[in-house]
């Protein structure tokens, strides 16, 4: 999932997000191609690419949450 600049999640920490149950953020790739293992206090930035694991049923919910929809 790529975080758009206008997303309400930009500037928030992982712990501030209401992620769906059984969802885990595994990796963040920053726009300068720097990989980051996300922690609770990691702040999301515009253009971050998020690699996450969730159930098929919650995939769209997780995408919407990360995009700030």
59 is a domain residue: no
60 is a domain residue: no
43 is a domain residue: yes
66 is a domain residue: no
Q: Which domain holds residue 14?
A: 1-54
Domain count, the chain: 1
8 is a domain residue: yes
Outline where the chain has alpha helix (H).
59-66
Q: Which two tokens stand for residue 23?
A: 């969802």
Tell me if 18 sits within 8 A of 63, measured CB to CB: no
Chain segment 34-55, per-residue pLDDT in tens: 999 999 999 999 999 999 999 9
What mean pLDDT is predicted for residues 44-69? 94
Query: What pTM does this model have?
Result: 0.87
Say which CATH number the domain at 47 has.
Answer: 3.30.70.1450
């Amino acid at each position: 999932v790529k975080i758009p600049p206008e997303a309400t999640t930009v500037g928030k920490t992982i712990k501030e997000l209401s992620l769906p149950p059984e969802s885990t953020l595994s990796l963040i790739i920053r726009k300068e191609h720097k990989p980051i293992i996300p922690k609770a206090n990691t702040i999301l930035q515009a253009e971050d690419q998020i690699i996450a694991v969730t159930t098929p049923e919650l995939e769209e919910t997780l995408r919407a949450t990360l995009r700030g929809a």
